[in-house]
Structure 1
Amino acid sequence: MVAYTTTPVDVEAGAEAKTVVLVEKRSPAEWIWKGCSVLFIVGLCLGGVLLFACYWNRRPDMMTQSGQTEAPKEKNTADPTDPHHTLRWISSKAKAAIHLEGSDSNGQLEWRNGQGQAFAQGGFKLEDNKIIIPHTGLYFVYSQASFRVTCGNSGGDEEAERGLMALSHRIWRYSESIGSRSSLMSAVRSACQNTVQEDDFTDEQSWYNAIYLGAVFQLNKGDTLWTETYKPSQLETEDGRTFFGVFAL
């Protein structure tokens, strides 16, 4: 908007010398409009910068997924949340470690190396179903026993028929410095528990559970570790469900 103003007339100069000066005045609305336009442009610039930054940060992941910047890795079908998978992975990173998988040998638990995910490195040995510690130091010792019990079967175990069966798993240690065996860890589970009525369990109903043991110990060179399991005939040994291992810290 343009407004016109007239300057005072010099009377002595006469009418012919009268001068008119035009002065442009800007309204407040025009200033507000221009200010909003500048802010809008600045906002667009900032938005563009942020979008570019987000794209650049996501670019390595996108390229990795498409296989352009990283060679294809071996497919791993193991469940990362499975304790067997996790402990096996941790053990493989240790300089000295052993991880054994259990198998059924005439109703007895036998530990085996070199099958499935089992391995031994750093001087660990498996002798007479026992782990031999290679040198003195701190070690993480662990084991899991997985059970499958058929409850309420009339021709099976007497404890299962009564609706209750005690299962246990223990890790023993023998050290020459001590001169006798000692229990490192142990746990007990009650299978086929009937807490409501005696006839809750139907014939051939199965009960599944696992006993897991794990802790850190100071062990000496030459110490031997082994397990003792009550009701080993009820163990599940398929797919590495029952395992025993040690790794150095």
Structure 2
Amino acid sequence: MSRSLTARVMQAYKGRAGFPPGAQSAAGTAGFSSRMKEEFHSQGGPAIPLPTMQQNLNYVYPQIFWVDSCASPTCAPSAPIATCPPPVPERRRRKQSNKRDGTCLCFLVVVLLVLLALAGVGLGMFQIVQLQKELAELRELTSTGHVPSSMEKRIGLPNVTAEKKVIRKAAHLTGKADQKTLPLEWVATLGHAFTSNIQYRHRSLVINETGLYFVYSKVFFRGKICNNLPLDHMVFKQNPAYPASQVLMEDRKMNYCAAGKMWARGSYLGALFNLTKSDSLYVNVSETALVNFEESKTFFGLYKL
């Protein structure tokens, strides 16, 4: 058989059979040889031995195998590798931190202003309540007829309007001129004189509550002619439960002047005593005519501790 005839037969059979190039196996090659032989006989060609045909086929059409790394059905294209985002610029970070710091500072300032306003409102309300209380106490004292005098403030007694429940017991009496009888008589309402929760009755100060009291008295003596008569100054206590009076304090002046000259002497008494309810205190002197009854020189008083 000529080579041109064999090539023509192979091309015709290849077009009919539809073999893919390079995909023949050993079994496929044998089948192909037998079919080729039949086809060749039908066209009147001479018989070709099978080995010779097989050799020619292997020589003309060598087996070709396609190698694909992704021939498996499970093979899938690899996923794209995630890339890192670009770094944030330093300026942007600084701007964000500055914004946060500014927001925190504004919030702190607002909180401080609110707290200051609340404190001011609370203080104002407290002062208003205190003023209302003092006004109510002052109205009550005015209705009862007792108003603190200037002497109470001068000797340091607490204001009665400020302390309604605690009222100090005190009294300060000043001398009364033109008197000749004993005990001495005093002024209780004029000038520096006052009484606070202490009664002045029958020339005596009457105690209405048992406790510790500081009692004081001063008498100023003066004369135009010196005769050196003894000058006695005494404070007495009397109680209805005891018939006789008791001497609390006493002072005597001797040889206090020179003959034929004007003279003046003062006598002061003061001490702490435990007095009981209904005690009455009064003052006696030996020479009433020699007493100077000015309110700043002769006085008598007490106050409860």
Sort the TM-score into its range (normalised by shorter chain): 0.5 to 0.7
Match of 1:112 among 184, 187, 191: 187
Runs of 4+ in 1 over 6 A off after TM superposition: none
The question of 1:172 aligning with 2:236 is answered yes
Partner of 1:99: 172
Which is helix-richer, 1 or 2?
2
Maintained 8 Å contact 2:179/2:185: no
Partner SS, residue 209 of structure 1: strand
Relative to structure 1, the CA distance from residue 112 to residue 173 in structure 2 (aligned partners, 3 Å threshold; closer, same or farther) is same
Maintained 8 Å contact 2:219/2:297: yes
Structure 1, unmatched stretches of 5+, are 1-85, 153-159, 195-200
Partner of 1:132: 206
Which is strand-richer, 1 or 2?
1
Between the aligned residues of both structures, percent identity stands at 29
Deviation at 1:96, TM superposition (A): 0.7
Give the RMSD, CA atoms, in angstroms: 2.5
Deviation at 1:236, TM superposition (A): 0.8
The question of 1:236 aligning with 2:300 is answered no
- Count matched residues: 146
Relative contact order higher in (CA < 8 Å, ≥ 6 apart) = 1
Partner of 1:181: 245
With the length of structure 1 as denominator, give the TM-score of the two structures.
Answer: 0.53
> Partner letter of residue 206 of structure 1?
M
Partner SS, residue 92 of structure 1: coil
Maintained 8 Å contact 2:174/2:188: yes
Partner of 1:20: none
Relative to structure 1, the CA distance from residue 149 to residue 87 in structure 2 (aligned partners, 3 Å threshold; closer, same or farther) is farther
Distance in 2 between residues matched to 1:88 and 1:178, nearest whole Å: 36
Distance in 1 between residues matched to 2:214 and 2:152, nearest whole Å: 10
> Partner letter of residue 114 of structure 1?
T
Relative to structure 1, the CA distance from residue 208 to residue 87 in structure 2 (aligned partners, 3 Å threshold; closer, same or farther) is farther
Distance in 2 between residues matched to 1:106 and 1:178, nearest whole Å: 28
1:70-127 deviations in Å (ceiling 9; x for gaps): xxxxxxxxxxxxxxxx9994473481100000112333432110112000002x1111
Deviation at 1:177, TM superposition (A): 4.3
Structure 2, unmatched stretches of 5+, are 1-150, 159-166
Match of 1:218 among 264, 274, 288: 274
With the length of structure 2 as denominator, give the TM-score of the two structures.
Answer: 0.44
Maintained 8 Å contact 1:91/1:246: no
Distance in 2 between residues matched to 1:170 and 1:141, nearest whole Å: 12
